[in-house]
């Protein structure tokens, strides 16, 4: 007898909903915890871990392909 799969995925498969995208992480310390990255105006985020202020997604400035595996 085969048991059906449970309807809920294992918890390890949930997305990082409280982590920002890698391209938006702190360029200095790599902080990605959304609770540690505070918007200070429309463009800039302040990292509460190291105090760096930066523009998310701009530090790489470029033509990156989607993602390398």
| Positions that interact with Zn ion (CB under 5 A) | 26, 28-29, 31, 47, 49-50, 52
Q: Which is nearer to Zn ion, 56 or 63 (CB)?
A: 56
CA-CA distance, 66 to 37, in Å (whole number)? Answer: 24
Residue 33's nearest CA partner among 45, 63, 43 is: 45
Q: Which is nearer to Zn ion, 24 or 31 (CB)?
A: 31
Q: Which is nearer to Zn ion, 20 or 47 (CB)?
A: 47
Tell me how far, at minimum, the Cβ of 44 lies from Zn ion, in Å: 13
DSSP bridge partners of 47: 37
């Amino acid at each position: 007898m085969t048991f059906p799969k449970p309807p809920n995925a294992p918890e390890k498969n949930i997305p990082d909903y409280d982590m920002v995208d890698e391209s938006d992480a702190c360029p200095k310390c790599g902080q990605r915890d959304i609770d540690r990255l505070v918007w200070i105006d429309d463009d800039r985020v302040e990292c509460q871990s190291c105090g760096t202020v930066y523009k998310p997604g701009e530090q790489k400035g470029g033509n990156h392909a989607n993602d390398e595996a």
